[in-house]
């Protein structure tokens, strides 16, 4: 099974301390206080719903959904999410309620980005070779 993205905890959860980076392999990752959640917070986070949010990964795209069971706010990069679904970007910070715990989403570079870098370096290399050729063999 391939790692889809990582979650960096900015605040402690039941199983992990703050600053822990967790690899995620599931296409649906549930977060909340409920026992069924993949990332579970304890009852001291009273503003976190039993099922507060679901991160979905599909075709190298990630988004966060607010399930109908969630009665508390969700913030991405300190902005309250009004819609039930929002696309996520690399290094987005998600906060579960106004004073609730925070996580950061970390994506692996996509194939498209890697291909773009390879092509860029190839063009740079050709440019350097042409400059050297015209300098020394003219």
Strand order in the sheet with 61-65: 39-40, 28-32, 53-58, 61-65, 85-87
CA atoms 105, 111, 116, 121: torsion sign: positive
Kindly report, residue by residue over 7-59, the tens digit of the pLDDT.
999 999 999 999 999 999 999 999 999 999 999 999 999 999 999 999 999 98
Indicate the average pLDDT of the chain.
90
Nearest to 51 by CA among 61, 64, 62, 63: 64
Residue 100: pLDDT band by 50, 70, 90 thresholds? very high
| CATH numeric code, 5-107 | 2.60.200.20
Q: Say what the pLDDT of residue 91 is.
A: 94
Q: Say what the pLDDT of residue 113 is.
A: 55
For the chain, which residues make up each domain, given as ranges?
Answer: 5-107, 109-138
Q: Say what the pLDDT of residue 121 is.
A: 79
Tell me how long the chain is: 138
């Amino acid at each position: 099974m391939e790692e889809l993205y990582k979650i960096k905890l900015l605040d402690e959860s039941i199983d992990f301390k703050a600053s822990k980076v967790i690899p995620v392999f599931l296409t649906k990752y549930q977060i909340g206080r409920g026992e069924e959640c993949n990332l579970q917070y304890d009852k001291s986070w009273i503003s976190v719903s039993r099922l507060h949010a679901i991160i979905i990964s599909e075709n190298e795209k990630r988004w966060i959904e607010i399930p109908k069971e969630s009665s508390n706010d969700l913030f991405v990069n300190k902005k309250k999410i009004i819609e039930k679904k929002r696309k996520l970007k690399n290094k987005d910070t998600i906060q579960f309620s106004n004073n609730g715990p925070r996580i950061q989403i970390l994506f692996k570079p996509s194939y498209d980005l890697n291909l773009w870098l390879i092509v860029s370096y190839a063009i740079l290399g050709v440019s350097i070779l042409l400059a050297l050729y015209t300098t020394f063999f003219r």
